[in-house]
Amino acid sequence: MRRLRRRTPPALPPLLCRWDLDKTYLRSEFDSLRQLLRTAFERGEDKVDVPGVAALIKAIKAAAERRGRGALVHFVSASPPQIGRAIRDKLALDGVPYDGIVFKNQLANIRRGKLRNLREHVGFKLVELFRGRLAAPAESRELLFGDDWESDSLIYSLYADLLACRLDADAVVPILRRIGVDPLLVDEAVALAGRAAGPDAVDRIFINLERRTPPATFRLFGPRVVPTFNYFQTAVVLAADGVLDAEDVATVARSLVETAGYAPRGLENSLHDLVRRGAVAPPAAERLTAALRPAGVLPPLAASPGRWRRIVATFARLRGRRRAADVAAARSEPAAIDYEAILARLRPGAADAEGRRA
């Protein structure tokens, strides 16, 4: 008798999630000197997290565990290590599991007279991302989380392209110099990139639109960068990518409804917004909607419409699918990122300075 051999599915590579802290995890307010000082002296219990972020990190960990894959959560912050204790207290209070946290040693910059480095984070973050990569399992897939306050989309995209060898040292050095990155950090980043380069490991870059920056601003970065208005949207994209299950999305949604006053209708609108922007395919959105509605996080369907209305609604849905598919196809065209255009848009000062020097 032939024995049936059960095939075990191939083990999923571990997941490496890197998070920015301020404005991505924490609702830090440092627009004025007073706010900056207050932030510096805040205790863990005073700090406020962005709604849904803690639930999302826990959901990513839980989903990875269910899939039998490891999930590492690392925080990379440009804040000084002096506030590290308050941050760790806050993460403990939120029950957020994490595997590493890195701060920027601002005192060292002051001691070395590198005052420009106090405000310039691109070099620091790039170096820390490569260091973290080298310390993680080589086959790890990466998800990067940032915000629209500084240059997270630029830093993460440079990192992803250097890692995947889409960008070489000759191309990146002038870019970093134009941004004003410390030459020592430029050399270090290039050296680390050389050691880490190989896999195209960054699957998604999520940008939390804390400042409500128009999403079109991020089109220059290509479809890998997904700007999201809330962490429900982030969870939906992760579910569509197969990182989370519908139950995880429901958990994130529930935390937003229960702790931040979100309404099911608002969440449904957020989901539709993602579909219109081409970040989630209509079939995936429909599957999720079908699972989330019974969970009570999306509004219930109106009373069953008549036969003709149902037919009309079906046609409308199909039309919507086609429109959304067109948008998704147009926006998912793989194209090399034009960093010149990005710098001209995000850092016009850097571009002008370079022009004058030339």
Partner 1 sequence: MPTIAVDAMGGDHAPGEIVRGVAQVSLTTDIECLLVGDERRIQDVLESVPYNPEHISIVHARDVVGMADDPHEALKTRKDASLFVGIRAVVDGRAGAMVSAGNTGAAVLGCARHFRLIKGIKRAALASVYPRSTEYAGQDPLALLVDAGATVRCDADELVQFALMGSAYARRISKVPSPRVGLVNMGSEETKGGDALVDAYRRLRRIPALNFVGNVEGHDLVRGRADVIVCEGFVGNVVLKLVEGVAEVFGDVARAAAQRRVSWRLGLALLSRELERLRELTDYTQYGGSPILGFEQLFIKCHGRSNARAVANAVKVAAKAVRDRVPAEIADAVALFR
**Which residues make up the interface to partner 1 (CB under 8 A)?**
211-216, 229-230, 233, 262-263, 265-267, 269-270, 272-273, 276-277, 316, 319-320, 323, 327
* Nearer CB in complex with partner 1: 235/267: 267
Contact by Cβ (8 Å): 257, 297: yes
The helix/strand/coil state of 147 is strand
Cβ contacts of 101 within 8 Å, gap of 6 or more? 74, 75, 77, 84, 87, 88, 91
CA-nearest of 298, 188, 291, 189 to 247 is 291
Q: State which residue, 151 or 233, has the beta carbon closest to partner 1.
A: 233
- Shortest distance (Å) from residue 242 CB to partner 1: 23
Four-residue CA torsion sign, 127, 132, 137, 140: negative
Report which of 18, 25, 22 is spatially closest to residue 93, judged by C-alpha positions: 25
CB closer to partner 1 out of 214 and 294: 214
Residue among 88 and 323 whose Cβ is closer to partner 1: 323
Query: What six digits make up the tokens of 188?
Result: 């270090």
Query: CA 167, CA 172: separation in Å to the nearest integer?
Result: 7
Rounded CA separation 205/227 (Å): 8
CB closer to partner 1, 251 vs 270: 270
Element (H, E) at 75: strand 71-76
Q: What is the DSSP letter of 348?
A: H
Q: How far is the CB of 202 from partner 1 (least distance, A)?
A: 23
What residues contact residue 24 under an 8 Å CB cut-off, 6+ apart?
A: 50, 53, 145, 146, 147, 152, 208, 210
Find the shortest distance in angstroms from Cβ 29 to partner 1: 18
What distance in Å separates the CA atoms of residue 189 and residue 195, rounded to the nearest whole number? 10
Comparing CA positions, the residue from 171, 159, 160, 178 lying closest to residue 120 is 178
Closer residue to partner 1, CB minimum distance, 105 or 213: 213
Taking the complex as a whole, how short is the minimal distance between the CB of residue 31 and partner 1, in angstroms?
A: 16
- The least CB distance from residue 80 to partner 1, in Å, is 31
Q: C-beta of 233: minimal distance to partner 1 in Å?
A: 8
Q: How far is the CB of 276 from partner 1 (least distance, A)?
A: 5
In terms of CB distance, is 115 or 312 closer to partner 1?
A: 312
Report yes or no: 25 and 210 within 8 Å, Cβ to Cβ: no
Question: Amino acid identity, residue 74?
Answer: H
Angle at 339 between CA 270 and CA 175, to 5 degrees: 130
Of the pair 112, 265, the CB lying nearest partner 1 is at: 265
Distance of closest approach, residue 302 Cβ to partner 1, in angstroms = 8
